[in-house]
Every structure is written in structure tokens, then in C-alpha cells.
Amino acid sequence: MEKKKSFHLILKNHMQLNEKNGWFDMEAATAMSGGQFVLYHETGVKVLYALTHLMIKNNVKHGFKPVMPPSLVQDHALVNSGNLPKFKGDFYSIPEDGLNLIPTAEVALTNIYAKKILSKEQLPIRHVAWTSCYRREAGGYGSLERGLIRIHQFEKVELYSIVEPEESKQELELMTETAENILKQLGLHYRVVLLAGQDCSFSSSQTYDIEVWLPGQDQYYEVASCSNCTDFQSRRAGIRYRPIVDAKTKLVHTLNASSLALPRLMVALMEQGQQEDGSIVLPDLLQQTMDMLW
């Protein structure tokens, strides 16, 4: 990973930098949607699209096939992924239609193969999806979580794998390396943390968090969570495979990883790329990609 950059200036956070650069507008979003929403402008939009392009290109190169799932799912889809009943109220629901906005693409990706019996030859299955994610994020917000750090709607590129049980540990390493590769290409300083068991999500048996450094706040913030759910989701969703013809079916293992959460990555680019005059210098690869957009 890149070394932590040394700054010889008075550091600003992304909200202060945005005053000069105008990448996003929290006030306009609040006026139409309420607090913790964001409206992106011009360069901010370009940065998000360029990042998404780079991520999907990188992930496809690592063997993940693109899909574009629905953003609205029924309750059973959230049960299959482990979000219901434990996390009821953490996401947005539309009860009159029996639908819910996905808090992460992982929910939809878990359900692509629900109640299916796969053959050994179909495995591993690897998908990448780019979606908006919607979370209620109930509770207060500290000064270090303002701006783009914690918002109700954010864009994220997600990796999802379905593998034989014996392959899931190795697959977790592959997914983590794939997510890290984006940060390496962008030259951003980050760290990888292996979570203690009690800090893992409800459905995960092992999780790596990838945390990027935000110099304007002198904090590391999670931009990716890479988890091996073993057979937790496949048991709920009924995803099985047959090791050989006519053999008894077995549960697959499922894994997921953010690759990556876009708003916090934007914050890292702003704060790690800040100049003394308040301008922002972006990595060459990202700038080249932005120049090709429009």
C-alpha cells in the first residue's frame, strides 16, 4: 500500500475543500430530501462515474461478471441475505407494495441463485454489481461523520462469490486483493484490518475491513468490508450444488466485498489530493478516465 503522505500545509477536511471546489451540495439535497442526502455537481459526478468505470474494469479483469440487479426487493430476499428479521428498521421499506430498498447489492446478489441446485462445473460464480444503497442510519452523527461520511443514499460497487466450501478461505483473499487493487492504482494510503469475531456482521464468519486514511480528519474510515459468510446465506436461500452427478447436494459458501464505497473514496481523494490553495490534484489514472467521459 502507499505510504501515508506528508503534508506541509494546514489540512482541510472534505467539507472545507468542497467550499472552493463545489463537487457536491448538501444544502440542496437537504431541501428536497432531508438531512444526510447529497447532490453531486459537475466534477463530483465525473469523479463518481470515472471511479465506477475503473472499479468495474478492474473487477472484470479479476474474473467477476457484471450484473445490474433491482434496487427493490421483497422481504424474503432480505431474510435470505441475513438482514431480516435481525435488522428490521435499518433499511427503507415500502409496506404497501411489499418492497424494500436494498441497503447493499449483496442482498440482491444473494438471491440470484436462491433455491437453485448448481453443478460443480458452474463454480466458482463471481459477480460485480454497481448500485445505489439505501440505509436509514438512525441515530446521531458526530462531527467526524458529517458530509459524505455517513449518508442515507450512496453508490457502491459490490463483489459477490459463490464457491465450494473448501475454496471460500482462498476466495476471501482474492476478493480482498481485488478491492485493494483499486486503492493501489489510485495511490491512496489505506490499511487492512481483520475484524474480531464479535465485530463481524451477523452473517459473516470472517471479515476484512479496508480502511482509507482521511488526512483532513486524521482518521481511517472503512471503504470496503470483505466477508466470508460460509453457508449462512446459502442455508437460508437454499443455494446448493452437486459435487458429482447423482451425488447428494451440498450447501455452497457465499462471500461479498465492497469494491468500493464511492462517497468515502471521494472523500479520500479530496483530502489526500488537497493542495495549499485548496485545489485538488487527482491521480493521473482517474483524471485520464474522467477526460474520456464528456
Would you name the residues annotated as active-site residues?
A: 135, 150, 222, 225, 264
How far apart, in whole angstroms, are the C-alpha atoms of residue 155 and residue 57?
Answer: 16
Instruction: Give me the residues paired with residue 101 across strands.
Output: 72
101-115: buried (b, 16+ CB within 10 Å) or exposed (e) per residue? bbbbbbbbbbbbbbe
Give CA–CA dist 157/130, Å, rounded: 4
Phi-psi group of 103: left, alpha or beta (phi > 0 → left; psi -120 to 50 → alpha; rest → beta): alpha
**Distance in angstroms (rounded) separating the CA atoms of residues 152 and 38:** 9
In one-letter notation, the amino acid at residue 40 is Y
Residues 6+ apart with CB under 8 A from 190: 1, 2, 180, 183, 210, 211, 212, 213, 220, 223
Coil/strand/helix, residue 267: helix
Backbone angles phi, psi at 234, to 5 degrees: -65, -30
